[in-house]
Amino acid sequence: MHYNQWGPQDLSAPAARVLPKLEARAGLVVEDVQTGWAGAVVRLEKSGGMHIVELADRRNKVRAFPLGFGFLHEGEPVELIAPVQAPTVQKLRTASGSVKVADTRAKVAKASRIWVEGKHDAELVEKVWGDDLRVEGIVVEPLRGIDDLAAAVADFSPGPNRRLGILVDHLVPGSKESRIVANLMASPGMGRNVLVVGHPYVDVWQAIKPSTLGIPAWPVVPRSMEWKLGILKAFGWPHTTAEDVGLGWQRLLSRVNSYADLEPSLLGRVEEVIDFLTAPVS
């Protein structure tokens, strides 16, 4: 036993752990230890002498918790405290409309994947849903077409912890794409670990609302002409080379700032895929 000016001191007793204090600012993602609920801070208020923090998960469902101990941030215990200069916090949104996550590193990529048909599809999904996907650890990969979809899925070897969500262009009754998808999904075990969804447009370009581009409707392209070249020609843009197509797409993509610039038929399908890939394994 040792002594100091305050009396006897037991040096064998472990020192009490002091948890780091973390301000509950908008977008901060934490987890409630007791319930396992994880979400971003969207609101803070004082009620009956106690601060209450509201956490919204990626589906925008909100639950309230008393501020203080019992939270994890990036896997480490913290004491959640009220911001020094901001008694309330403002909701922040990503381009997809989800609650924006702040001060959180992107997760290590999971084995699950989102496949899209081409580079333009991948760039559009990244621009609108990129923040959400980084938080979830989901990677988007372009397929360069779906003619060999069944073989590609077999090579991927889907499983409960290795799911696959596939977004297909022009998935309408009677189309080549619908026949390819029907044959794939008829294979054993596809339904549990593979989800294929699609939009009705010839190309993902058409998923951008005409109003976003300042036009009444997308131009009608004759069947005799390659669709993208026909669109560029109708706009009066260069339309003869692959480089023209790439530059034209960048002009179109630059007009997209959020989910509000896209057609609902695409929005719902992408959200469906993300929900499928992030659902708990049963």
Per-residue pLDDT at 117:
93
What whole-number distance in Å separates Cα of residue 261 and Cα of residue 164?
A: 26
Q: Which residues pair with 50 in a beta bridge?
A: 47
What whole-number distance in Å separates Cα of residue 88 and Cα of residue 91?
A: 10
Per-residue pLDDT at 46:
74
Kindly report, residue by residue over 217-271, the tens digit of the pLDDT. Answer: 999 999 999 999 999 999 999 999 999 999 999 999 999 998 889 999 999 999 9
Residue at 208 is within a domain: yes
Helix/strand/coil for 218: coil
Decide if pLDDT at 10 tops 60: no
Per-residue pLDDT at 48:
58
Same domain, 141 and 261: yes
DSSP assignment of 157-210, as one string? --BTTB-EEEEETT--TTSHHHHHHHHHHTSTTHHHHEEEEE-SSSSGGGGB-H
Per-residue pLDDT at 97:
59
Decide if pLDDT at 149 tops 80: yes
Kindly report, residue by residue over 205-230, the tens digit of the pLDDT. Answer: 999 999 999 999 999 999 999 999 99
Same domain, 50 and 128: no
Residue at 262 is within a domain: yes
Same domain, 143 and 252: yes
Per-residue pLDDT at 88:
44
Same domain, 36 and 135: no
Residue at 40 is within a domain: yes
Q: Considering its fold, how many domains does the chain have in total?
A: 2
Per-residue pLDDT at 250:
95
Residue 190 CA: distances (Å) to CA of 117, 129, 157, 243, 262: 19, 25, 10, 38, 29
What whole-number distance in Å separates Cα of residue 219 and Cα of residue 201?
A: 13
Same domain, 131 and 192: yes
Domain stop point among 41, 57, 81: 81
Decide if pLDDT at 9 tops 60: no
Same domain, 270 and 164: yes
Residue at 105 is within a domain: no
Per-residue pLDDT at 63:
84
Decide if pLDDT at 90 tops 60: no
Same domain, 47 and 135: no
Kindly report, residue by residue over 31-60, the tens digit of the pLDDT. Answer: 888 888 888 888 887 765 678 888 887 777
Determine the structural domain holding residue 56 and report its residue range.
11-81
Same domain, 131 and 67: no
Same domain, 147 and 69: no
Percent above pLDDT 70 for the chain: 83
**Looking at 21-25, 83-87, 130-134, which range is the least confident one?**
83-87
Same domain, 72 and 195: no
Q: What single DSSP character describes residue 191?
A: H
Mean pLDDT over residues 64-75, rounded?
87
Residue at 129 is within a domain: yes
Same domain, 130 and 257: yes
Same domain, 215 and 273: yes
Residue at 51 is within a domain: yes
Mean pLDDT over residues 104-113, rounded?
69
Per-residue pLDDT at 76:
87
Residue at 142 is within a domain: yes
Q: How far is CA 148 from the centre of its chain?
A: 27
Kindly report, residue by residue over 150-197, the tens digit of the pLDDT. Answer: 999 999 999 999 999 999 999 999 999 999 999 998 887 677 899 999
Residue at 211 is within a domain: yes
* CATH, residue 36: 2.30.30
